[in-house]
Amino acid sequence: MGDVAIEFIAKVHMDFEASTKFISFFVPAGPMCAKLCIYLALNPNLAISLDSGVGITGSDKAGEPMAHARELRFSGRVFVYADQELSEEETNLVMEAGKSMGLDVRVRGPLYAAKQIDVENPLAFISHDGRDKESIARPLAHELLKLRCPVWFDEYSLVVGASLRESIEDGIKRCKRCVLIVSKNFLGNRGWTKVEFNGVFTKEIVEKNASILPVWHEVSRAKVFDYSPSLADRYALDWSLGVAKIAKKLNDAVRRVPVA
C-alpha cells in the first residue's frame, strides 16, 4: 500500500502589540487523525516557518522601524483542532507530545465547538492592550469562563482571515457589557485600544446604557482623567483585589441588565 496524502491547515496568529505569536493546526477526520495530531504537536515548526516573509510597518508617533514576524516571540501555545472527537487517551498523548517539546498544546474537537455555542453570544467584551494579554487579560478571561460567563476575547473569538476591525466592532455590538482593562499600556496606546474604547463609549451613548466596566491596574485617577474624564468618574475594580474576586464581581455585573 502506498503512502496516503493527508491535507491539514497550519496558521500563525501574530500579536504585534504583545510581540508574541501562537499557532493552530486544523486536522481532518479519518483513521490517521490522532496520529497526525501527535505529529503536529511534535513539529510546531511546520507552522512557525510560515511567517518568515511577513512584515508590518509601525505607524505610531514614535516612528518605530518595521517589525518583522520572525522577531515576534513564540508563546509556546499550540491549538490543535480535530474534525473528529479524540478519546481521552489520544488527547493526553497529543498534549504530552507537545509538553515534551516545551509547548502548551490545547486539543479542540466537535464537542468543544458545541460547548462554545454560548460564546457566539458573549456577555462581555474584554478590551485590553496587547502587552497586558498574558498577565491580565487572559487570566481574567479564563476566570470568567470558569464561571460560565461567555466573553469576547481575541484568542477565543477572532476567526482566521476575518477583518480585525469588523470582528471587533461586531463583538462590541453583541456584548451586553464591555470590560476595559485600564493600565499604563492601555492609557498610552493610541492604536487599536483607542479604537476599541471609542467604539465602547459610542455604544453607551447610542444604547443609553452604562455598559462600561473598568478594571484598573496600577493607574491613578489623575492619569485616567487625562485619558478620559468620563472614564475617571466610573466606579472601577482594582486589580489588587485578585483575579478570582474581580471575575466574580464582573460576572455578577454582566448578568444584570445595564441601567442608564
**Per-residue 3-state assignment (H helix, E strand, C coil) for 19-83:** CEEEEEEEECCCCCHHHHHHHHHHCCHHHHHHHCCCEECCCCCCCCCCEEHHHCEEEEEEEEEEC
Residues in the chain: 260
Same domain flag for 108 and 151? no
- What is the per-residue pLDDT for 153? 75
* Within-domain flag for 48: yes
Same domain flag for 145 and 202? yes
| Domain end (from 114, 139, 154) | 114
The pLDDT-based confidence of 206 (bands split at 50, 70, 90) is confident
- What is the per-residue pLDDT for 87? 92
State the Cα–Cα distance between residues 2 and 92, nearest whole angstrom. 30
Least confident of 27-31, 47-51, 63-67: 63-67
Q: What percent of the chain has pLDDT over 90?
A: 27
Least confident of 61-70, 75-84, 233-242: 61-70
Q: Are 208 and 260 in contact (CB under 8 A)?
A: yes
The pLDDT-based confidence of 115 (bands split at 50, 70, 90) is low
Structural element, H or E, at residue 193: helix 192-207
In 10 A of CB 235, how many CB atoms? 7
State the Cα–Cα distance between residues 128 and 186, nearest whole angstrom. 6
The pLDDT-based confidence of 168 (bands split at 50, 70, 90) is low
Say if residue 154's pLDDT is above 70. Answer: no
* Within-domain flag for 15: yes
The pLDDT-based confidence of 259 (bands split at 50, 70, 90) is very low
With a CB cutoff of 8 Å and minimum separation 6, the contacts of 108 are: 79, 80, 81, 82
Strand ordering across the sheet containing 124-127:
151-152, 124-127, 177-182, 212-216, 237-238
In which domain, by residue range, is 81 found? 9-114
| Domain end (from 92, 114, 136) | 114
- What is the per-residue pLDDT for 172? 67
Residues 33-48, mean pLDDT to the nearest whole number: 89
Single out the catalytic residue among 17, 90, 169, 196: 196
The count of structural domains within the chain is: 2
In the block, residue with C-alpha cell 459610542: 202
- What is the per-residue pLDDT for 66? 52
196 a catalytic residue: yes
Greater confidence (255 vs 87) lies with 87
- What is the per-residue pLDDT for 163? 46
Say if residue 222's pLDDT is above 70. Answer: yes
